[in-house]
Structure 1
Amino acid sequence: MDFIPHTTTETRDMLDAIGVNDAHDLFRMIPDSLKNAQIPFPPPLSEMEVAAFMRAAAQENTGSGMAVFAGGGAYDHFIPQAAPALIARGDFHTAYTPYQAEASQGTLQAIYEFQTLMCRLTGMEVANASMYDGASALAEAALMACRLTRKEKILVSTTINPHYRRVMRTYLEAPGIKIIEIPQNGGVVSKNDLQQELGKDIAAVFLQYPNYFGILEPIETIAEMCKTEGSLLGVSVYPLSLGLLQPPGTWSVDFVVGDLQSLGLSLQFGGPYAGFIAIREKYVRQLPGRLAGRTKDADGRTGYVLTLQTREQHIRRAKATSNICTNQALCALAASMYLSLMGPKGLRQAAERSVRNAHDLHTRLCGLNGVRSAFDRPFFNEFVIELSKPISKWLEYARKEKIIAGIHIEPGLVNEKEALLVCATEKTSPTAIDHYVKALANFLKNCRVS
């Protein structure tokens, strides 16, 4: 079919309708320096030259061979090789929205199995087909809480990942939902401050478990506080930790969200990852995204369908729960494969080894002169320390020693001092721990602060 452009008259009518003189006016907010920028593209290259260029560029990646002690939402966990091998099959690369159930049984079943795994992992009753990532899942849970309660205030602990809280602010600004941040006390949310803010006008409280500092929040106690005041409770989890920790669904938690990166997704320079949201069944009509279900056809055979799809592409926009455009089906499938390959025993072993390595590292680091633990509470596989020397200098020194030493926490989040968030996983070897401890000891001994 030939392309038939708009006529001059039609174009003029459209421009008049929106009140602009010409199409260039639609781009007037873009600076002229950017619109007319000349991009210095290199001359064309042959296939052999492109391959050589890419090899040279890859060698500039200084992360190769580094010992990773940074976490904060992206973790260097072991991934069974069967998972990336299977996920690389061409069958899965178009795992998009299964609009036609009769032609999408494989995709629908994969989504259904993923939802089931998330429910079993979290102890919740319903899970959706996945979200973009953990941060957007948390923001969607906040919107969902406000729809359910018809209230426009939420309480958010400052022990939640700072990046997640920034995404929440972005999502909730346009609807006019007020976010009240509750400070931490001793590494966990301050129950006194939380109690003062809790009231009948609060839609929900949101926490992280384990929190950004790696510490276990008193979820059960806070769940009772929320129940008394008639507020909902949402918890952002570190999925791999649930191989060892009690799942939030065993308490009176209304929403459990998280990022799937720790379940079979490599670090990948920060993405793509996937998120999930799991809820109580009574809230299912407000669940964002889509829900795959299992049913029977006319002949009694098992079949899979899209049971719920309350997004604005499928129903009236005013009735939609979210404008999330897709789900991260391929990443969710990778997480499903990881959980199936690891099983409950393997997941528990990975969690236990992560805890053991982190506590071993914490003990040894805190035995050095010039190192102090910021908190004295139970933690999972991350912890916060304070140094007697500038942390920025230590991170720079560590990189030269082939160590990614942690995440720099600016003053104000822990206390008035800067701090360092350090992580260990099941992949952290005794040799790597020894190297970290010795490198930090040498740094503290020899660093001169001008």
Structure 2
Amino acid sequence: MRELPRLPNYNDFIHRLYPGVADRSLVREVTFQVTNQCNLRCDYCYEHHKGPESMSLETGKRIVDLLIRMWEDDKPGGFISKKTKTVILDFIGGEPLLEAPLISDICDYFFKQCALKGCTLASGARISISTNGQNYFEPQVQAFVKRFAPFLSLNVSIDGHKALHDAHRVDAAGNGSFDKAIKAYHAAAGLGGKQTKMTFVPASFPQMSEAILFMLEQNPDFIAANYAYEPIYTPQDARVLYDQLKIVSDHLIATKRVIACSILDHNIGYPVAKEDDKNYCGGSGGMLAFDTQGKAYPCLRYCPISIGKEKAEKICIGDMQGIYNTPHTAKIRDYLDAITLSSQSTPECINCPVGVGCGWCSAYNYESTGDVNRRVTNICWAHKGRTLASCYYHNKRYLELRDTTPKAVLLPEKDALQIIPREEYEYLLRLQTEAEKVFLKEGGEDGI
């Protein structure tokens, strides 16, 4: 049986190159926050403390020196060691391409220093950039793109069709940004795949299907769509989400489109295995970010641009001289390393029958509650609505196209009926039953 593709993941790719190596330090993501400036004023942006500051080249070079020094020192348990096969150099702002020459110089320094010192981190290294595309065609940006294209994964953020995009992503004067973004999206199609990130909030849920169908017309390699963590979603929001995803599902089935769509992933909506007690958010020790001044944090979401200087200072883990190298920062490391799914979650979340795929942001936990180890559950109802839609999509698609597998409706009836009417819930159950019968009749085993 054919299977629908999954979204590409560079970490997965590296682990496939080195089978049997489970250490999460195999590939490390390091973020350079090159500027606090942005040329847009997106209304859902989590960076609430933008400003005029930018990183200096000297600071960027010293961060690169630290990465190579960690590799050379090869300390057991170090963030980077000689077990680390490669790195993702993530450049972000604000809007990172406002500092394209700086990014180019930092990358140039990284590859040269790795060559001079015999550091293998440059082998397979990726340069990752998410941009709003507003200055993509400027000469200095194009010079950077041309120079580093073989290593570059560049994503232009587009939230859907022009009306929706321009309702949320505007410049300082209130003008929409879609026209420039869509041109940049098509021009950058060869840089790591034709991709974009679509972000939705309750206000944009009613236009979700139009937005996704528009992006499908742009012939992407995959659809990466999700909802923001910050809003508190309601059962009513979940109903809108479900209805919109049904429209998307019907379109994908009717057109026989074979494409990975993150928001309809088959793998969500199952109980979390008891032995799977990981904290999947990289912002609790799995990532590393440096702000414009060279101070280090567990990820960008902890930087001052996101949560302000006072909160950020308490979770700072070092600087370009070294990380986790003082008693205070060592305590932060030990605390982050000890966080698990169960340590931060309520019994309701731990035992949720559809818990798989219900994510969290460790930094948003910290911003909202003051504690990384206290899970914020704002997305609970959105996740439940998405789970029901995924069941609709895969069961119906299996019956019509046979290129996926049936999916059990595991959301409890009492929760489901807060989202959809009883007749719709019973229809989902019938759809599941029919798909299971056909699956077993055709020789399927435990794919449900």
**Band of TM-score, shorter chain:** under 0.3
Higher relative contact order (CA 8 A, sep 6+): 1
Q: TM-score, normalised by structure 2?
A: 0.26
| Larger Cα-atom Rg | 1
